[in-house]
């Protein structure tokens, strides 16, 4: 049987990193890990082809080749799904759809032939058996959380690794916390489940053998949700790195209580973790209590950021405005906290009620839910009736984003971060790709785009005061260009 796996294009959001790609000569930020993993669950005698629409176009020839099309999508891909399905049907090919978009919203797609809802590991054997007999069911729904020991190594051979900035792997699913706005527990539950450390290291070894030497995103919902298992994995990665000599680096997502765990921080840095994304959400304690983010209420968030930076991490932060208890000065509070703490990559979004979350159910009961979420929290729109004025929130959000990524504020934030961060002694000489990115930034940021004067002051000042950190500073300057472009589209 011939299976075509299709990944929709990512819209222009924070996580697309679209405006960075031209600097590093890549086509996409991350590969479609879900589809690569599903592909590994299909029979060895089936022929597979994967089309990532972030990398290349889907041709009629691709669709005609297949007996069936498997489509995976997140909520943010919703606007692209209809045209993909319509094209497949026009060419007489059935579609099997899975992923977060369909797990909570499959009723919105009556035109799709078949659905795989929830985590797929325990559903795939039955789906494959039904496909072999030619009688696939309309819906396959997961009734329990699968053991991650059953998750196979992704089919890296289906993509060209050179197309991507960063590879992706997954160690755990689930999060022990219960933030009202978050759909992680809807998808993956409260109890973190993990792969065996050797299993994950085996996936990394496969990437290494295929020539991958760059960053890997460990896409866990909360990497430290199970701290004991995380430490076991980190020790295995440290031993693997020493054994193989690989310079592969990592980034991941974790809760702010990572700052309370010096041993865990040390192990992560020794294992090659360089960046960590933390959901700070807001410096307004009353809003943190409202959304159930109690783990952030019991700490000085600025100190937590600095502890993580001093441990050796680039701290990327997630922030939200639009809570019922947000004070009227929430935008200034957010700006002041982000600038003071030196969270260079500050991903600020308007609150959105995602399907099946506690927030969604509460707003529905209160009669305040108005539209479905697009999954893109960088849109200047709200899908519910807020307490503060809608117009005030939307305009305040636009102003905050543009102010945060205005060159003088952004470069000031990088300087603050570099003052706090422990220097990374593992960074080697500039590679050829680094030099190419630097030369492109000289032209695009130093000549072509606005903010060029601030760029030159930043570059010269960094070379004079922090020459050993120039490589890192340049990387952050290029990232800022992406966020500035996203902010201008709001």
CATH code for the domain of 93: 3.40.50.280
Predicted pLDDT at 435 = 79
The residue among 141, 175, 209 that closes a domain is 141
C-alpha span between 170 and 217 (Å, rounded): 8
- Count up the domains in the chain and report the number: 3
Predicted pLDDT at 414 = 97
Residue 471 tokens read as 């490589």
Q: Domain check: are 124 and 260 in the same one? A: no
| Cβ 282 vs Cβ 338: under 8 Å | no
Express each pLDDT in 317-365 by its tens digit: 999 999 999 999 999 999 999 999 999 999 999 999 999 999 999 999 9
Confidence label for 280 from pLDDT (cuts 50, 70 and 90): very high
Q: Domain check: are 199 and 63 in the same one? A: no
Question: Is the predicted pLDDT of residue 432 greater than 80, yes or no?
Answer: no
Long-range contacts of 111-115, Cβ-Cβ distance < 8 Å, separation of 24 or more: 111/82, 111/85, 111/86, 112/71, 112/85, 113/138, 114/138, 114/139, 114/140, 115/139, 115/140, 115/141
Residue 469 tokens read as 């950190």
Whether residue 261 is contained in a domain is answered as: yes
Question: Is the predicted pLDDT of residue 438 greater than 90, yes or no?
Answer: no
Confidence label for 428 from pLDDT (cuts 50, 70 and 90): low
Q: Domain check: are 6 and 96 in the same one? A: yes
Confidence label for 452 from pLDDT (cuts 50, 70 and 90): very high
Strand extents, DSSP E, 121-230? 139-141, 167-169, 172-173, 193-194, 215-218
Question: What mean pLDDT comes out for the span 226-253?
Answer: 98
| H helix or E strand, kind and range, residue 240 | helix 227-244
The residue among 363, 388, 404 that closes a domain is 404
Predicted pLDDT at 429 = 59
Q: Domain check: are 448 and 312 in the same one? A: no
Express each pLDDT in 335-347 by its tens digit: 999 999 999 999 9
For CA atoms 458, 460, 465, 468, give the dihedral sign: positive
**What does the buried/exposed string (b/e) look like for 94-127 if buried means 16 or more CB atoms within 10 Å of the residue's CB?**
bbbbbbbbbbbbbeebeebbbbbbbbbbbbbeeb
Whether residue 286 is contained in a domain is answered as: yes
| Cβ 333 vs Cβ 284: under 8 Å | yes
Whether residue 18 is contained in a domain is answered as: no
C-alpha span between 33 and 164 (Å, rounded): 12
Single pTM value for the model: 0.95
CB count in 10 Å sphere of residue 202: 14
Q: Domain check: are 198 and 327 in the same one? A: yes
Whether residue 356 is contained in a domain is answered as: yes
Predicted pLDDT at 254 = 98
Question: Is the predicted pLDDT of residue 434 greater than 80, yes or no?
Answer: no
| Cβ 225 vs Cβ 258: under 8 Å | no
Residue 220 tokens read as 């866990």
Q: Domain check: are 129 and 195 in the same one? A: no
Q: Domain check: are 284 and 388 in the same one? A: yes
The 215-218 sheet, strands edge to edge: 167-169, 215-218, 249-254, 273-281, 314-321, 346-350
Domain residues for the domain of 195 are: 166-404
Provide φ and ψ at 8, rounded to 5°.
Answer: -65, 160
CA nearest to 330, candidates 364, 283, 384, 399: 283
Whether residue 24 is contained in a domain is answered as: no
What three-state secondary structure class fits 336? helix
Question: Is the predicted pLDDT of residue 427 greater than 60, yes or no?
Answer: no
Q: Domain check: are 279 and 372 in the same one? A: yes
Q: Domain check: are 355 and 232 in the same one? A: yes
Whether residue 147 is contained in a domain is answered as: no
| Cβ 161 vs Cβ 144: under 8 Å | no
Whether residue 75 is contained in a domain is answered as: yes
Percent of the chain residues topping a pLDDT of 70: 99
Let me know how many helices (H) and strands (E) the chain has, helices first. 20, 14
The residue among 141, 176, 195 that closes a domain is 141
Q: Domain check: are 388 and 439 in the same one? A: no
C-alpha span between 277 and 248 (Å, rounded): 18
Whether residue 409 is contained in a domain is answered as: no
Q: Burial of 214 by CB count in 10 Å (0-12 exposed, 13-18 middle, 19+ buried)?
A: middle
C-alpha span between 440 and 65 (Å, rounded): 40
Q: Domain check: are 446 and 352 in the same one? A: no
Question: What mean pLDDT comes out for the span 441-451?
Answer: 88
Q: Domain check: are 110 and 193 in the same one? A: no
What DSSP letter does each residue of 427-480 carry, written as one string?
--S--HHHHHHHHHHHHIIIIISS-HHHHHHHHHHHHHH-GGGHHHHHHHHHHH
């Amino acid at each position: 049987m011939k299976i075509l796996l299709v990944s929709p294009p990512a819209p222009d959001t924070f996580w697309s990193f679209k405006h960075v790609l031209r600097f590093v000569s890549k086509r996409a930020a991350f590969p479609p890990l879900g589809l690569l993993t599903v592909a590994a669950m299909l029979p060895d005698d089936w022929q597979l082809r994967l089309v990532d629409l972030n990398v290349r176009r889907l041709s009629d020839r691709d669709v005609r080749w297949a007996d069936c099309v498997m489509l995976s999508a997140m909520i943010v891909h919703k606007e692209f799904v209809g045209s993909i399905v319509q094209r497949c049907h026009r060419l007489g090919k059935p579609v099997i759809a899975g992923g977060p978009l369909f797990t909570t919203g499959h009723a919105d797609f009556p035109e799709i032939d078949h659905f795989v809802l929830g985590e797929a590991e325990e559903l795939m054997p039955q789906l494959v058996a039904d496909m072999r007999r030619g009688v696939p069911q309309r819906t396959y729904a997961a009734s329990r959380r699968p053991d991650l020991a059953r998750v196979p190594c992704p089919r890296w051979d289906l993509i060209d690794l050179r197309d991507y900035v960063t590879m992706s792997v997954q160690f755990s699913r689930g999060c022990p916390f219960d933030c009202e706005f978050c759909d992680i527990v809807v998808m993956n539950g409260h109890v973190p489940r993990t792969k065996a450390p050797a299993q994950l290291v085996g996936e990394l070894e496969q990437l290494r053998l295929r020539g991958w030497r760059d960053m890997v995103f460990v896409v866990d919902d909360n990497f430290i949700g199970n701290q004991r298992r995380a430490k076991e994995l980190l020790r295995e990665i440290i031993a693997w790195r020493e054994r193989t000599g690989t310079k592969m680096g990592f980034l991941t997502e974790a809760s702010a209580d990572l700052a309370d765990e010096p041993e865990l921080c040390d192990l992560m840095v020794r294992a090659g973790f360089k960046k960590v994304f933390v959901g700070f959400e807001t410096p307004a304690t009353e809003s943190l209590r409202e959304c159930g983010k109690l783990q952030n209420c019991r700490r000085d968030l600025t100190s937590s950021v600095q502890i993580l930076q001093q441990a050796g991490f680039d701290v990327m932060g997630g922030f939200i405005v639009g809570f019922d208890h947000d004070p009227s000065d929430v935008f200034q509070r957010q700006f002041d906290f982000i600038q003071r703490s030196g969270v260079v990559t500050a991903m600020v979004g308007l609150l959105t009620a995602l399907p099946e979350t506690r927030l969604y159910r509460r707003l529905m009961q209160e009669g305040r839910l108005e539209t479905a979420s697009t999954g893109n929290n960088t849109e200047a729109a709200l899908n519910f009736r807020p307490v503060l004025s809608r117009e005030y929130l939307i305009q305040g959000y636009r102003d905050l984003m543009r102010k945060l990524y205005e060159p003088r504020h952004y470069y000031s934030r990088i300087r603050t971060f570099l003052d706090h961060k422990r220097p990374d002694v593992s960074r080697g000489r500039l590679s050829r790709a680094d030099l190419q990115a630097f030369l492109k930034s000289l032209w695009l940021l130093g000549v072509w785009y606005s903010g060029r004067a601030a760029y030159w002051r930043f570059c010269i000042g960094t070379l004079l005061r922090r020459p050993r950190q120039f490589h890192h500073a340049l990387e952050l300057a290029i990232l800022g260009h992406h966020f500035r472009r996203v902010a201008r589209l709001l």
